[in-house]
Amino acid sequence: MKKSNILKSVAVFFAMFFVTLFPEAYTCTRVVYKGPGNTVITARSMDWKDEIDANIWIFPRGLERDGNVGKNSVKWVSKYGSVITSAWDIATTDGINEKGLVANVLWLVESEYPKFDPQGAAKGIAISAWAQYVLDNFATVKEAVDALKKEDFVIVSDYIPGTTTFSTLHLSVSDASGDNAIFEYINGKLAIHHDPSYTVMTNSPVFEEQLAINKYWQSIPGTVMLPGTNRAADRYVRASYYINAIPQTADVQTSLASVFSVIRNCSVPFGISSEAEPNISSTRWRSVADQKNLVYYFETVKTPNTFWVDLKKVNFSKNAPVKRLSASKNEIYSGEASQSFVPAKPFVFMGI
């Protein structure tokens, strides 16, 4: 065996060993489908060990934003309107803007952010606003990569309110052209993985090792065997296989049904828990963003239906009202739900 192949095999072994030894308590999956006719669809599952209040928000252009980390907070005005899902109304977890850019944050226990001095010179932004900053400011993945790689500000994290859990996240971004990028902070340094082929992301290990694990499994036909546990590495492999195995079609109904089936396949059945395996966290909700047609779909596991928001029916103009759709009390909505939103004061991003 060549030395390079031996090193790759060793890397895969230790990555799998790490995932087995240190299972994550919070698990999610994100996958991007690219089909004929410029069809691009991004789906994600939100898996969490406890209930997580999720509400849907409409944010117009022209909103004044604050990174909420003190006097050195990054300040900006939203350039693009967006439809997003919040967690506890303190953070943006994912969403789509009016240009078809999608941002998703997922848990990554290996994350370590640069040191931030509230009294220093460096600007900062709360990790709860990271995805929203991207949606507010950029139309494409390339724009986001070109801006964020300059590291004009520091990502600042903190404990989730009322818990002893320190927020450790990585960010994925996809656009209407099918481009993709993953942003991770490892050992205090920003790692950017930018390539249209990076269509799948889960949790641990770091993205570079996820790619190595998936390369190993590509040598085994998916029709013969696929890893079936709820661990991040296994979900990554299943998502990678199925997103390329489903029908390649420009028919919206078929492509959406196929993508929903993939993200459901990578979800964790509701109510499953295990003291011996804290990595098993029930899927709480799923979102699917049609970036060609600008439609944002959403479903929670406690309601029997899927509803959606057609961004073309939303008023994103400056001075348009911020609106909120409650989804945290098991409300049931039917079909296109843009008319069910009600005006609301924007939530404040969790800061320090």
Q: What is the CATH number of the domain that holds 67?
A: 3.60.60.10
Query: Does residue 350 form part of some domain?
Result: no
CA 190 to each of CA 108, 170, 173, 194: distance values in angstroms, whole numbers, following the listed order: 13, 10, 15, 13
- Is 221 within 8 Å of 215 (Cβ atoms)? no
Q: 212-271: per-residue pLDDT in tens?
A: 776 766 666 655 557 767 777 788 888 888 999 999 999 999 999 999 999 998 887 776
The continuous run of DSSP H or E covering 326 comes out as strand 323-326
pTM: 0.86
- Please say if 266 is a catalytic residue: no
pLDDT of residue 317: 98
Q: Express as a percent the part of the chain with pLDDT over 90.
A: 62
Task: Give the Cα-Cα-Cα angle 156, 133, 115 (nearest 5 degrees).
Answer: 15
Rounded Cα–Cα distance for residues 310 and 193 (Å): 30
Query: Does residue 294 form part of some domain?
Result: yes
- Is 78 within 8 Å of 61 (Cβ atoms)? yes
pLDDT of residue 25: 47
The continuous run of DSSP H or E covering 238 comes out as helix 232-245
Query: Does residue 352 form part of some domain?
Result: no
Rounded Cα–Cα distance for residues 272 and 283 (Å): 9
Query: Does residue 287 form part of some domain?
Result: yes
Query: Does residue 349 form part of some domain?
Result: no
Its domain, for residue 234, covers 3-343
Q: 263-297: per-residue pLDDT in tens?
A: 998 887 776 665 544 445 777 899 999 999 999 99
Q: Which candidate in 15, 16, 28, 102 is catalytic?
A: 28
Query: Does residue 37 form part of some domain?
Result: yes
Query: Does residue 263 form part of some domain?
Result: yes
Q: Which tokens go with 3?
A: 């030395």
Query: Does residue 306 form part of some domain?
Result: yes
Residue type, 322: V
Task: Please identify every stretch of the chain with a pLDDT value under 50, giving residue numbers as ranges.
Answer: 1-25, 276-279
Rounded Cα–Cα distance for residues 153 and 2 (Å): 43
pLDDT of residue 52: 78
pLDDT of residue 3: 44
CA 325 to each of CA 2, 51, 202, 348: distance values in angstroms, whole numbers, following the listed order: 56, 18, 27, 16
pLDDT of residue 102: 98
pLDDT of residue 221: 62
Rounded Cα–Cα distance for residues 232 and 20 (Å): 10
The DSSP call for residue 218 is T
What's the structural domain count of the chain?
1
